[in-house]
C-alpha cells in the first residue's frame, strides 16, 4: 500500500515547541503540503466539503499535530487496563467504525508530539498498580500504524515498555507497514495484533485499508521478529455463507503463519449505536451494513451509552463456530474474549 500522505496539515502552535513538531513542520514544508494552524487540536474548523460525504473524506485527509494535555488515561476493557493515547482516528474508510460514535462526521486524524509526557504518565499508572502488571492499548481510538513513519511513536513506546518490568503494550492495525518495527528491541513486552475479516467484508466495508494477504504477511513478519502475536476477528458480521468465508480466513491464516505460531484471538461482533447509525447513513448513504434494529438486541455499554448487538442465540452460534474453527487450526492458542 502507498503511505498515508495528508492533503493538509493543521498545527497546534504549542506542538512546535517540541522536537517532533518542528521536524514534522519541516517535513511537510519540504513536500509543499498545505499547512494551517488551530488554537487547539480539539477545535478544528474549516474542513472543506459541501456534503457529509465530502466533509468526511476531507477530514480523513487532514492531519492535526497537537499536544495531548489530558493525561488521565481512559480504561480499555476488555483489551487492556488503560488506553495509551498516541493518536486519534485513522485514514481508513471503514463504514462500521465504532469511532463514528465518538468522533462524529468529521474524524480528522490527530497525532501528539509529547510522547515522552504520555509515557511518563503511563509509568505513574504502572507504579500505582505495582506489583501487578499493567497493560496499555495503543489503538483504542486510532490505528497508529499509518502515521508511524511520521511520528515514531510506536517505536518509542515499544522501547519504553521493553525496559519496563511491570508494563506491557499492545496495539492492533488493519495496515501492513510495520517493517520499521521489526528490529526494535521489544523483549516480548509488546503484542502486535492484526484485525482480520472475510474478503467480502474487507471489500465492501473496509476501503482504504490493507488487503487480507498483506495483513497476514505482516503478521508473519511480526511473529518472526519475536513479537507476541494476536488477531482480532472484527467485526464479525452475519450474512449468507459467513461460516464458510470465515473458515477460509482461518485456513489461510494457519497456512501462511510459520509453524509453531501461537497467536491470541479476540472476537468482536458487529454492533452499532444510534449516533453511529445516523452518521453512517449520512456519510455512506448507499451502505449495505446490516443495521436493522428489529434484528438486534439493545445493550448498555461501559461508556454510558447503549448499542444494538446480535441477540443471544446468534452470539452463542458465533461463539460455538469460532471456538471450534480456531481450536482446530490453532490448538495451542487462546481466545481472550468475545463481545
Mean pLDDT of the chain: 93
Q: 240 by DSSP, 3-state: which?
A: coil
Q: Considering its fold, how many domains does the chain have in total?
A: 1
Distance in angstroms (rounded) separating the CA atoms of residues 157 and 138: 9
C-alpha cell at 269: 461482533
Percent of the chain with pLDDT over 70: 96
Residues of the domain holding 206: 8-238
**251-268: pLDDT as tens digits:** 999 998 866 678 999 999
pLDDT band of residue 101 (cuts 50, 70, 90) is low
d(CA 315, CA 331): 22
Cβ(256)–Cβ(216) below 8 Å:
yes
CATH number of the domain that residue 35 is part of: 3.40.50.12110
Report residue 107's pLDDT band, with 50, 70 and 90 as the boundaries. Answer: confident
- Locate 236 and state its grid cell: 464479525
Tell me, yes or no, whether 257 lies in a domain. no
The reply to whether 285 falls in a domain is no
Rounded Cα–Cα distance for residues 248 and 234 (Å): 15
> What is the mean pLDDT of the segment spanning 23-37?
96
Could you tell me if residue 96 is inside a domain? Answer: yes
| Short-list 216, 157, 142, CA closest to 191 | 157
Which region among 27-31, 41-45, 87-91, 217-221 has the lowest average model confidence (pLDDT)?
41-45
| C-alpha pair distances (Å), 218 with each of 185, 204, 230, 321 | 18, 22, 12, 26
pLDDT of residue 303: 59
Query: What are the residues whose beta carbons fall under 8 Å from the beta carbon of 227, sequence distance 6 or more?
Result: 186, 188, 190, 191, 192
CA angle 255–261–266, rounded 5-degree value: 90
Percent of the chain with pLDDT over 90: 81
Say yes or no to pLDDT of 311 above 70.
yes
CB 141 within 8 Å of CB 102: yes
Give tens-digit pLDDT for 268-283: 999 999 988 988 998 8
Q: What count of residues does the chain have? A: 339
Name the pLDDT band for 156 (thresholds 50, 70, 90). very high
208 falls within a domain: yes
Grouping H, G, I as helix, E, B as strand and the rest as coil, residue 135 is strand
291 within domain boundaries: no
User: Does residue 268 form part of some domain?
Assistant: no
In a domain, 68, yes or no: yes
Calculate the dihedral angle through the C-alpha atoms of 213, 103, 12, 120, rounding to the nearest 10 degrees: -70
Residue 102 pLDDT > 90, yes or no?
A: no
The 10 Å CB-count burial string (b at 16+, else e) for 146-174 is: bbbebbbbbbbbbbbbbebeebbbbbbbb
Using the predicted structure, report yes or no on whether residue 301 has a pLDDT greater than 80: no
8 A C-beta contact, residue 81 and residue 134: yes
Alpha carbon distance 145, 339 (integer Å): 24
3-state DSSP helix/strand/coil % of the chain, to nearest 5? 40, 25, 40
Would you say residue 50 lies in a domain?
yes
DSSP string, 150-168: HH-HHHHHHHHHHT-SSEE
- What pLDDT is stored for residue 261 in this prediction? 78
Amino acid at each position: 500500500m502507498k503511505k498515508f500522505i495528508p492533503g493538509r496539515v493543521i498545527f497546534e502552535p504549542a506542538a512546535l515547541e517540541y522536537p517532533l513538531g518542528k521536524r514534522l513542520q519541516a517535513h511537510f514544508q519540504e513536500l509543499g503540503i498545505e499547512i494551517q494552524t488551530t488554537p487547539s487540536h480539539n477545535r478544528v474548523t474549516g474542513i472543506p466539503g459541501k456534503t457529509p460525504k465530502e466533509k468526511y473524506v476531507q477530514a480523513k485527509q487532514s492531519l492535526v499535530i497537537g499536544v495531548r494535555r489530558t493525561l488521565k488515561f481512559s480504561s480499555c476493557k476488555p483489551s487492556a487496563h488503560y488506553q495509551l493515547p498516541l493518536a486519534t482516528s485513522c485514514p481508513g474508510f471503514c463504514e462500521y467504525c465504532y469511532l463514528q460514535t465518538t468522533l462524529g462526521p468529521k474524524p480528522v486524524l490527530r497525532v501528539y508530539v509529547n510522547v515522552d509526557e504520555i509515557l511518563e504518565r503511563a509509568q505513574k499508572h504502572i507504579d500505582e498498580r505495582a506489583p501487578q502488571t499493567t497493560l496499555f492499548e495503543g489503538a483504542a481510538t486510532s490505528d497508529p500504524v499509518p502515521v508511524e513513519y511520521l511520528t515514531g511513536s510506536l517505536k518509542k513506546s515499544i522501547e519504553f515498555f521493553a525496559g519496563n518490568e511491570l508494563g506491557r503494550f499492545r496495539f492492533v492495525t488493519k495496515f501492513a507497514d510495520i517493517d520499521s518495527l521489526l528490529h526494535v528491541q521489544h523483549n516480548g513486552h509488546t503484542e502486535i495484533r492484526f484485525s482480520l475479516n472475510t474478503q467480502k467484508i474487507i471489500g465492501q466495508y473496509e476501503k482504504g485499508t490493507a488487503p487480507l494477504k498483506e495483513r497476514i504477511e505482516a503478521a508473519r513478519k511480526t511473529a518472526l521478529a519475536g513479537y507476541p502475536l494476536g488477531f482480532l476477528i472484527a467485526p464479525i458480521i452475519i450474512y449468507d455463507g459467513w461460516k464458510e468465508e470465515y473458515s477460509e480466513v482461518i485456513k489461510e491464516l494457519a497456512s501462511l503463519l510459520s509453524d509453531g505460531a501461537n497467536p491470541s484471538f479476540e472476537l468482536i461482533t458487529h454492533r452499532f449505536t444510534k449516533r453511529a447509525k445516523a452518521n453512517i447513513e449520512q456519510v455512506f448513504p448507499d451502505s449495505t451494513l446490516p443495521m436493522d434494529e428489529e434484528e438486534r438486541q439493545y445493550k448498555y455499554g461501559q461508556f454510558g451509552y447503549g448499542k444494538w448487538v446480535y441477540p443471544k442465540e446468534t452470539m452463542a452460534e458465533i461463539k460455538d463456530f469460532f471456538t471450534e474453527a480456531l481450536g482446530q487450526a490453532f490448538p495451542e492458542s487462546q481466545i481472550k474474549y468475545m463481545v
